[in-house]
Amino acid sequence: MSSIIIYTIITLSLLGAVAALVLYFVAQRFKVYEDPNIDLVEAELPAANCGGCGFAGCRNFAETLVKAETFDGLFCPVGGNETMSRIASVLGREAVTQEARVAVLRCNGTCEFRPKISKYDGTMSCAIASALYGGETGCNYGCLGFGDCVMVCNFDALHMDPVTGLPVVDDKKCTSCGACVKECPKDLFELRKRWKGDKKIYVACMNEDKGGVARKNCSVACIGCSKCFKVCPHDAIVMKNNLAFIDSVKCKLCRKCAPECPTNAILEFGLPIRKQPETINTQLINKEE
Amino acid sequence: MLKTFKKGGIHPPENKFSAHNGIRKLPLPGSVAILLSQHLGAPAKVIVNKGDEVKTGQLIATGEGFVSSNVHASVSGKIAKIDDVTDISGYRKQAVFIDVAGDEWIETIKRDNTLEKDIQLTGEEIIKKINEAGIVGLGGATFPTHVKLTVPRGKKAECLIINGVECEPYLTSDHSLMLEKGEEIIVGIQLLKKALNVPLAHIGIENNKPDAIVLMEKLAAEYKGIKVHALKVKYPQGGEKQLIKAITGREVPSGGLPVDVGVVAFNVGTVFAVYEAVQKNKPLFERVVTITGKTLSQPANFRVRIGTPISAVINAAGGIPGDTGKIVSGGPMMGKALSDPEVPVMKGTSGVLLFASGESARRNMLPCIRCAKCVSVCPMGLEPYLLMPLAQKNSFDRLEAEHVMDCIECGSCSYTCPADRPLLDFIRLGKSKVGRIIRTRKKQ
Amino acid sequence: MSNLLTVSPSPHIASEQSVSKMMYGVIISLVPAFLITLYVFGLGALVVTVISILSCVLAEMVIQQFILKTRISIGDGSAMVTGLLLAFNLPSNLPWWMVALGALFAIGIGKMTYGGLGNNPFNPALVGRVFLLISFPVQMTSWPLPVASRLQYVDAATGATPLGFLKEAVRGGVTVPEAMNQLPDHMQLFMGQMGGSLGEVSAVALIIGFFWLLYKRIITWHIPVSMIATIFIFTGILWLADPSKNASPVFHILTGGIMLGAIYMATDLVTSPMTKTGMFIYAVGIGLITVIIRVYGAYPEGVSFAILIMNAFVPLINKYIKPRRFGEEVKHG
């Protein structure tokens, strides 16, 4: 080996060693003390950094949890009750539980039910379109179909159905983080109570126009007739602004309301098929999803 | 050297097809839908009921609060219903529907055509009459005029600027109004000067209307304190801030109002409405609307009653051409595309523009090539190429720091971009989100 | 369906300008220069130019289709422009495979790794050129004799460029006025009878192209004029200080890649600043660095390096040099 190579190796090794020593001492001198619990809590969190807890990422939430005295108002919707109870045992505090929820799109205005009356040629974004006008159909409240919600979902739980023109929620993947609720400019998403088997009953409409106008623009719109309200035995239905709303906590899935609806605006999922004459609407309602 | 604003601006083709076609009266439609909110501020509160008989010019809704405006019946007949109709915002809003029967006006209106030069009222009385007549800015912003004439405490108005620029391509309603009602406009200017107590008024007219410039100069020469300025043809010269800069050399400060530099500005249509209201006791219920487009057989300017469906205006100009793709209320740069031709004419409707299908189609966008054309055409000195990705990424702090709220939404950037990027779409989105944040912050 | 009205946000009209129109406008503006270079360097010029353009377009197409799997965008003409400008930076006797390699590097590394059109911080043609210069210094600095070597390609007879000759002469102790006697006069330099890369030679053809670009509103005058003025003033000061060691400013401007660099390379839209003030600072920087490299550096030619160095500063320039806002608050105290 020539002397150049030997000298190069020695010089570089010395330089490397000196640099390592300097780095070590600097790292010790400027070390920031962090409560070791933060790392433990962070390890329990799902590391999705979705912001569903209301904080800036899982680490930020972990810091908040460690500093907080109680867990009131602190909950990770992605990890759910299991994660929160594990964190509670790590920190030696009382666990909080919340009912499991899932995102639901309160609109069933498919291309078939809700005909288009204009063609939108602007940027394909729901936020931009809703600032411009009520949408390509006559219903000013319904889904615009440009997929801002799909873009914002961190968990791959939303996809556009090209046939219906509406986004579809994948219940298995949905973590009820609330991103779609915040994003939708029409406020169509709601986090509703999640039942076993993904059972759901809800009014798939947000239209506040008077019944005749609503029905003219969409054949499955809620016309505010109040028939569902009159039969509900659990006081779960509220009528406001020509629109029915089913409270998902009070609702016990007794199914008395759905057959009353003259426009089939109330959708049922995960429940046995009702015996009644097949119409186009009921075929779609009873699809096992 | 013609005066102009130095920063930015573009030169779209003028296409002023209806410039020399005069103003004709549009025949009354079968029914009108008069919207309760045709102005900035709170919607007016309706004071009539279904079934009432009303006369032309009768008050049917009163302004709610200071920044609001009265609304009057534009026709005589029976109120058919008070219901929702789609307006230019693209959403359904409340309106008074009147089935037209005859054309009986309220008795107080002087219907003769003689010029009323004498001004007997005080400034305060003039402002009161303007308020009662429901006059709003007819240039399109529809800001209630009596509010603009009430100068906030601590600020002083030094001069008046009259906007006869009409920089949007295709539109000719202001041009036609100046040619036919020039004398009345001059009297209107005198009324506004008295209301504001200012000695001087400037009229700005773009140089592509030489007949209007010559006429207004001749009429203004008979009075003291009215100057006419011919301005270089450049869009958006008609923008308030650009007009003030060109005529006075002063820049309205960021976030400020024209009165901060001593100026109050009005559109010529508004000035004419002021004349009619104060001198003839005529409230605002009709206005000049240009109906135009490359495919239209008879582009024209019509005097239209508020609430007339736009389809009636199109029919009077030869009917809707078969391959119409887009109907725009306003001009091609800042106007609103309509989803429905039954949208009624409102106080701020300056024109109706028809495009053939494909004529106004958007092209596919390419990546930004950083050519900086958007920066060089922006009249407010902003950087649209930067504001668009910031709005896409929801970087609200940076958007506010880059002064997105200064944007006047003139559209010069989107017009110019060679990569066909929808710059203004995202800047508008950024403005609305940042605006909401600022309002929430101010409340705390 | 066809009876539905179209609704979109304003504005509803757009100018006729497009990216491909601008790119093809640049190509058209280079036609006079190309014709002159065909006359001066003949076969070599043709081969190098064609291979460079084809390789750039092919490289972009292959990378987009098979590696990035995105939409193929060669239709916008930007790869063609890179190919043409890269060729204009090369000697006409460069072997075809080196040209192709340079093109692949220019498009692949200089443009595609950053995300394609609009995202590259460095001028891709210059990235390719500098890569070739560093990798193949001998072949990249052997310049075919003008006119005499027209019918030959790789085996063309070579000689030094005026700048190279001058640098060697001054190093060897010859004074500048003596050396100038052996070089073409100013008019010959202006018209294009000198050695150099394909695009360096004819100032007059490049200036014709410049006016075409201005007329078509593809570039503005700020960068070329500022850059050339800076070089003129700086070399003028040096020349007045010591005419025996420094050439005249007119000589400097007409030789080497200054004309090509000022009009076509520094004005590349993607890699130049976004405001007029920023462009001025950028161009002055390029001018200063070019002269420093030429006078004090080892290379006789400095424009390529100067432009690449200033390209690195452009994001900084864009961050701090903002256009003056309308109604900007006046700062007090």
Name which residue leads in pLDDT, C167 or C13: C13
Which residues of chain C lie closer than 8 angstroms to A122, CB-CB?
Answer: 7-9
Looking at residues A19-23, what average pLDDT do you find?
Answer: 96
List, as ranges, residues 124-153 from B with C-beta within 8 Å of A: none
Percentage, residues of chain B above pLDDT 90? 95
Residue C331: what pLDDT?
Answer: 54
Q: Are residues B276 and B379 in the same domain?
A: no
Contact of A132 with chain C, judged by CB distance below 8 Å, is answered with yes
Three-point CA angle B209, B210, B215, nearest 5°: 105
Give which of C193, C85, C90 is closest to C133, Cα–Cα.
C90
> Are C6 and A118 an interchain contact pair (Cβ–Cβ within 8 Å)?
yes
List, as ranges, residues 229-288 from C with C-beta within 8 Å of A: none
Distance from CA of C226 to the nearest CA of A (A): 40
- Could you tell me the pLDDT band of residue B416, with boundaries at 50, 70 and 90? very high
How many angstroms separate the CA atoms of C7 and C97, rounded?
A: 53
Contact of C5 with chain A, judged by CB distance below 8 Å, is answered with yes
Contact of A122 with chain B, judged by CB distance below 8 Å, is answered with yes
Q: In terms of pTM, does the model score above 0.95? A: no
Nearest residue in C to A120, CA atom: C7
How many angstroms separate the CA atoms of B372 and C314, rounded?
A: 13
Contact of B403 with chain C, judged by CB distance below 8 Å, is answered with yes
Strand partners, C100: none
Q: Are residues B381 and B272 in the same domain?
A: no
- Could you tell me the pLDDT band of residue C188, with boundaries at 50, 70 and 90? confident
Looking at residues C124-150, what average pLDDT do you find?
Answer: 89
Which of B280, B301, B319 is the last residue before a domain boundary?
Answer: B280
Q: Are residues B157 and B273 in the same domain?
A: yes
Residue A134: what pLDDT?
Answer: 93
How many angstroms separate the CA atoms of A106 and A91, rounded?
A: 39
Phi and psi torsions of C28, nearest 5°: -65, -40
Residue C302: what pLDDT?
Answer: 87
How many angstroms separate the CA atoms of B32 and C255, rounded?
A: 76
The distance from CA C142 to its chain's CA centroid, rounded to whole angstroms, is 19
Residue B346 lies in a domain: no
Assess contact for B237 and B165: CB atoms under 8 A.
yes
Residue B27 lies in a domain: no
- Its sign, for the CA torsion B13, B18, B19, B23, is negative
The yes-or-no verdict on residue B302 having pLDDT over 50 is yes
Looking at residues A225-253, what average pLDDT do you find?
Answer: 95
Contact of B205 with chain C, judged by CB distance below 8 Å, is answered with no
Q: Which of A117, A128, A134 sits opposite B425 (nearest CB)?
A: A128
Q: Are residues B239 and B385 in the same domain?
A: no
Contact of B7 with chain C, judged by CB distance below 8 Å, is answered with yes
Contacts of A48 (CB under 8 A, 6+ apart): A58, A78, A154, A155, A175, A177
Q: Are residues B248 and B392 in the same domain?
A: no
Task: Estimate the crossing angle of helix C124-135 against helix C303-320, to 10 degrees.
Answer: 140
Mean pLDDT of chain A: 91
Residue C225: what pLDDT?
Answer: 97
Residue B57 lies in a domain: no
Tokens of C132: 């070739």
Nearest residue in B to A133, CA atom: B90
Task: Give the neighbours of chain B: at least 3 Cβ pairs within 8 Å.
Answer: A, C
Residue A286: what pLDDT?
Answer: 52
Mean pLDDT of chain B: 95
Which of B262, B280, B298 is the last residue before a domain boundary?
Answer: B280
Contact of A15 with chain B, judged by CB distance below 8 Å, is answered with no
Q: Which of B91, B340, B362 sits opposite A121 (nearest CB)?
A: B362
Looking at residues C211-224, what average pLDDT do you find?
Answer: 96
How many angstroms separate the CA atoms of B35 and B41, rounded?
A: 14
Which of B263, B280, B297 is the last residue before a domain boundary?
Answer: B280
Contact of B103 with chain A, judged by CB distance below 8 Å, is answered with no
The yes-or-no verdict on residue A86 having pLDDT over 70 is yes
Residue B274: what pLDDT?
Answer: 97
The distance from CA C223 to its chain's CA centroid, rounded to whole angstroms, is 12
Name which residue leads in pLDDT, B192 or B444: B192
Instruction: Express each pLDDT in C39-63 by its tens digit.
Output: 888 888 999 999 999 999 999 999 9
Contact of C15 with chain B, judged by CB distance below 8 Å, is answered with yes
How does strand B92-100 pair with strand B77-86? antiparallel
How many angstroms separate the CA atoms of B417 and B392, rounded?
A: 18
Q: Which of A116, A117, A132 sits opposite C9 (nearest CB)?
A: A132
> Are A128 and B84 an interchain contact pair (Cβ–Cβ within 8 Å)?
no
- Could you tell me the pLDDT band of residue A283, with boundaries at 50, 70 and 90? low
Instruction: Express each pLDDT in B249-269 by its tens digit.
Output: 999 999 899 999 999 999 999
Nearest residue in B to A130, CA atom: B90
Residue B31: what pLDDT?
Answer: 95
DSSP string of chain A, one letter each residue: --HHHHHHHHHHHHHHHHHHHHHHHHHHHTPPP--HHHHHHHHHS------TTSSSHHHHHHHHHHH-SS-TT---TTTHHHHHHHHHHHHT--------EEEEE-----TTTS-B-EEE-S-S-HHHHHHH-S-SBS-SSS---S-HHHHH-TTS-EEE-TTT-SEEE-TTT-----HHHHH-TT--EEEEEPPGGG-EEEE-----S-HHHHHHH-TT------HHHHH-TTS-EEEETTEEEE-TTT-----SSGGG-TT--EEEESSPPP-S---HHHHHHT---
Residue B444: what pLDDT?
Answer: 84
Looking at residues C195-214, what average pLDDT do you find?
Answer: 88
Distance from CA of C21 to the nearest CA of A (A): 24
Instruction: Express each pLDDT in B234-247 by its tens digit.
Output: 999 999 999 999 99
Contact of C241 with chain B, judged by CB distance below 8 Å, is answered with no
Least confident of A73-87, C128-142, C171-185: C171-185
Contacts of A192 (CB under 8 A, 6+ apart): A101, A102, A103, A104, A200, A202, A248
DSSP B144: B
Contact of A122 with chain C, judged by CB distance below 8 Å, is answered with yes
Residue B49 lies in a domain: no
Which residues of chain A lie closer than 8 angstroms to B89, CB-CB?
Answer: 133
DSSP string of B76-95, one letter each residue: -EEEEEEEEEE-TTSSEEEE
Q: Are residues B142 and B246 in the same domain?
A: yes
Q: How would you class C82 by CB atoms within 10 Å of its CB: exposed for 0-12, middle for 13-18, buried for 19 or more?
A: buried
Query: For chains A and C, what is the number of CB pairs under 8 angstroms?
Result: 28
Instruction: Express each pLDDT in B345-367 by its tens digit.
Output: 999 999 999 999 888 999 999 99
Nearest residue in B to A213, CA atom: B84
The yes-or-no verdict on residue C149 having pLDDT over 80 is no
> Are A118 and B89 an interchain contact pair (Cβ–Cβ within 8 Å)?
no
- Could you tell me the pLDDT band of residue C163, with boundaries at 50, 70 and 90? confident
Nearest residue in C to B330, CA atom: C10
- Could you tell me the pLDDT band of residue C295, with boundaries at 50, 70 and 90? confident
The yes-or-no verdict on residue B248 having pLDDT over 80 is yes
Contact of A116 with chain C, judged by CB distance below 8 Å, is answered with yes
Least confident of B195-199, B397-401, C155-159, C272-276: C155-159
Residue B114 lies in a domain: no
Residue A289: what pLDDT?
Answer: 42
Residue B242 lies in a domain: yes
Please, what's the largest Cα pairwise distance for chain B? Answer: 64
Residue C158: what pLDDT?
Answer: 80
CATH number of the domain to which B245 belongs? 3.40.50.11540
Query: For chains B and C, what is the number of CB pairs under 8 angstroms?
Result: 154
Mean pLDDT of chain C: 90
The yes-or-no verdict on residue B196 having pLDDT over 70 is yes
The yes-or-no verdict on residue A281 having pLDDT over 60 is no
Instruction: Express each pLDDT in C18-42 by its tens digit.
Output: 999 999 999 999 999 999 999 888 8
Residue B194 lies in a domain: yes
Please tell me the total count of domains within chain B: 2
Give which of B283, B106, B262, B119 is closest to B187, Cα–Cα.
B119
Q: Which of C8, C19, C273 sits opposite B366 (nearest CB)?
A: C19
Q: Are residues B272 and B383 in the same domain?
A: no
Residue A72: what pLDDT?
Answer: 83
Least confident of A51-55, A158-162, B360-364, C297-301: C297-301
Preferred mutation among C10, C23, C122 to probe B, highest tally of B CBs within 10 A:
C10
- Could you tell me the pLDDT band of residue C156, with boundaries at 50, 70 and 90? confident
Q: Which of C11, C19, C119 sits opposite B419 (nearest CB)?
A: C19
How many angstroms separate the CA atoms of B370 and B259, rounded?
A: 37
Residue B386 lies in a domain: yes
How many angstroms separate the CA atoms of C291 and C100, rounded?
A: 31
Q: Are residues B138 and B260 in the same domain?
A: yes
Least confident of A102-106, B293-297, C82-86: B293-297
> Are A118 and B432 an interchain contact pair (Cβ–Cβ within 8 Å)?
no
How many angstroms separate the CA atoms of C114 and C318, rounded?
A: 18
Contact of B442 with chain A, judged by CB distance below 8 Å, is answered with no
Instruction: Express each pLDDT in A220-229 by its tens digit.
Output: 999 999 999 9
Quote the domain boundaries for residue B227. Answer: 123-280
Task: Give the neighbours of chain C: at least 3 Cβ pairs within 8 Å.
Answer: A, B
User: What amino acid is encoded at B406 in this protein?
Assistant: D
Contact of B49 with chain A, judged by CB distance below 8 Å, is answered with no
Task: Estimate the crossing angle of helix B173-196 against helix B268-280, to 10 degrees.
Answer: 60
Which residues of chain C lie closer than 8 angstroms to A136, CB-CB?
Answer: 7
Which residues of chain A lie closer than 8 angstroms to C9, CB-CB?
Answer: 122-123, 128, 131-132
How does strand B200-206 pair with strand B226-231? parallel
Distance from CA of A146 to the nearest CA of C (A): 14
